[in-house]
Amino acid sequence: MSEMQKPLAGLRVVELGTLIAGPFCTRIMAEFGAEVIKVEAPDGGDPLRKWRKLYEGTSLWWYIQARNKKSVTANLKHPEGIEFVRRLIVEADIVVENFRPGVLDKLGLGWGQLKAANPGLVMVRLSGFGQSGPYKDQPGFGAVGESLGGLRYVTGFPDRPPVRTGISIGDSIAALWGAIGALMALRHKEVSGGQGQVVDVALYEAVFAMMESLVPEFDVFGFVRERSGNIMPGITPSNTHTTKDGKHITVGANGDAIFKRFMQAIGRPDLAADPGLADNAGRDARRDELYALIDAWCAQQDEAAVLATLAAAEVPASRVYSVADMFADPQFIARQMIEAARLPDGREFRIPGIVPKLSATPGGTEWVGPALGAHTDEVLATLGYDAAAIARLRAAGAV
């Protein structure tokens, strides 16, 4: 699909972000057709370029996180570099930044200055603690947001310290809220006179917003949700079990009818018919009993047999997938969730597919993360800089 057929075609987005939250927010926009211009420091660019596994010196993560984006370099310690960025934002619909609050104001790129020059601008601001409050000046990465926002406290087993998920989930959640907020602000701009606004996303609040019934349960009952391992507290049965061949399977049989089918399938019609287990409250009261018998049933059979039995009974279940499982799985393949792209040297490699699936105007990968500054001259030219001016900026160290 061409860029102009994508739903965000025609939007210009300036990214003043590094690493995860800001760049993931703009990645979503770029995947769906926005022209995302990523501003990077000339001396190395976004640190994500060197994070995790490198191929010929560049992070494989980078190629995903910066797909469909244009990379320009600007030295924000040089007045002409700042002026380049200011002119770029004046022509933009959205700017996304994840600096610590106050940094852009010192550069003359604060909300007040930018709004005066571009009244329709939508500014997405992602930070650890938001743009106000006593913690706003503190640094805050995703791990801090996950801790303050409540996620880390409930993650893990009750007899051990809190653990993290294996990815920077707090940053990614904040990025999603940033993208949603930007689209809300654009909608408001369309129907209410063309004025832009600030979308203020704090990482800890983005995580906190996902914490289900945590707040009212504490307020009304004084209940503090604690770590509970692999079970879903208060909802039974929903757990992960180990099979005879050492594989792990997650089973969600907490619907009333599903539970009955599950018990029939594992040879316990007596429990399927037990009136005390007919609803979730009764099952949760006998949680330990139910999990012990499910553990024992799974431990007697290999993974394939367990999954086949549960599939035949229409009980929701899945192996706990590794990435190797995903590469071979027919559902991932059918939904094009692992797609092919090419590295700069021509080598084919696999990258994640696009989410969500839009029926009429789907997103897509046009190119993978670009080389540092690959689009600097092109973008400068769109702002009226001629070849001589571009050469002068480069010689001066401004770009």
> Is the previous residue joined to 362 through a cis bond, with omega within 30 degrees of 0?
no
The catalytic residue among 46, 93, 159, 171 is 171
Helix, strand, coil abundance in the chain, percent, nearest 5: 40, 15, 45
**Helical H segments across the chain, by residue range:** 21-31, 60-65, 79-90, 103-106, 111-117, 142-148, 169-191, 203-208, 214-221, 256-265, 269-272, 280-285, 287-299, 303-312, 323-328, 330-334, 376-382, 387-396
176, 239, 228, 279: CA torsion to nearest 10: 100
354: Cβ contacts below 8 Å, ≥ 6 apart = 31, 32, 362, 363, 364, 365
H/E element holding 371? none
Active site residue 288: no
H/E element holding 276? none
Question: Which of these, 44, 43, 52, 47, lies nearest to 17 by C-alpha position?
Answer: 47
Active site residues: 171
